[in-house]
Amino acid sequence: MKELIIATKNQGKLREIKDLLKDFDVNITSLAEYPDVPEIIEDGDSFAANALIKANIVGKFTGKLVIGEDSGLEVDYLDGAPGIYSARFSGADATDEKNNQKLIQELSGVPYEKRTARYQCCTAIVDGTQEITVVSGSCEGMITEDPRGKNGFGYDPYFLIAEYQQTFGELDPSIKAKISHRAKALMQVKDVLSQILA
């Protein structure tokens, strides 16, 4: 069975990707199985650049099929922040809780209609040293004032989907798996993997 390495240590992200790719006959692993991979410094200027950095480093080190993914939240009122810094928005010792606290502080007093935002996801596929493609997906939403729901991770409890009037923290995971930024990117990944694995 062919191995597919997801270039992440983020368990929430890994869980979502595994679920979205469950129909493929591949052995999905992550960086947890490759502790000797060189340090990955995400110093790209875009989600796509960071996704490629991750995939290329792991692909060159292992010689295997790799998915590198970078995603984050863009808030219009904050000129697109936190953007590519979403995971470390609150500093070097960032946690989901600290990042959310900072986000809500920066949006303090901002009226609901100006709290528009989107999640962005870019996914790079690399086979050893060969770059295959980079795909992307996005999902529009609003930022709530208070956290709602326990599902998901990151900014999910504050990210409201207008159509459902629920945050990603409240939405049934099966719905999120159809409409999220990651789901939209991975639908394209599936097409590419179908060709590679055929």
What single string gives the DSSP state of each residue in 132-155?
EEEEEEEEEEEE-SS---SSSSTT
Task: Please report the pLDDT score of residue 101 as a whole number.
Answer: 97
Question: pLDDT confidence of 72, banded at 50, 70, 90?
Answer: very high
Task: Please report the pLDDT score of residue 37 as a whole number.
Answer: 96
When pLDDT is averaged across residues 162-183 and rounded to a whole number, the result is 95
- The pTM of the full predicted model, rounded to 2 decimals, is 0.91
The answer to whether the CB of 71 falls within 8 A of the CB of 182 is yes
CA-angle at 194, arms to 191 and 196, nearest 5°: 110
Q: What is the pLDDT of residues 103-161, one digit of tens each?
A: 999 999 999 999 999 999 999 999 999 999 999 999 999 999 999 999 989 999 999 99
Question: pLDDT confidence of 7, banded at 50, 70, 90?
Answer: very high
Interstrand relation of 166-167 and 130-143 (parallel, antiparallel or unpaired): unpaired
- pLDDT of 1 above 90: no
**102-109 long-range CB contacts below 8 Å, 24 or more apart?**
103/73, 103/75, 103/143, 103/155, 103/158, 104/143, 104/145, 104/158, 106/78, 106/81, 107/75, 107/77, 107/78, 107/143, 107/145
Task: Please report the pLDDT score of residue 36 as a whole number.
Answer: 96
Options 23, 45, 70, 172, the catalytic residue = 70
- pLDDT of 60 above 90: yes
Residue 11 and residue 126: Cα distance in Å, rounded? 21
CATH fold of 3-197, please? Maf protein (3.90.950)
Residue 174 and residue 177: Cα distance in Å, rounded? 5
Task: Please report the pLDDT score of residue 123 as a whole number.
Answer: 97
Residue 70 catalytic? yes
- pLDDT of 198 above 90: no
The domains of the chain are located at: 3-197
The Cβ of residue 95 has, within 10 Å, a number of other Cβ atoms equal to 11
Please provide the average confidence, as pLDDT, over all residues in the chain.
Answer: 95
- pLDDT of 10 above 90: no
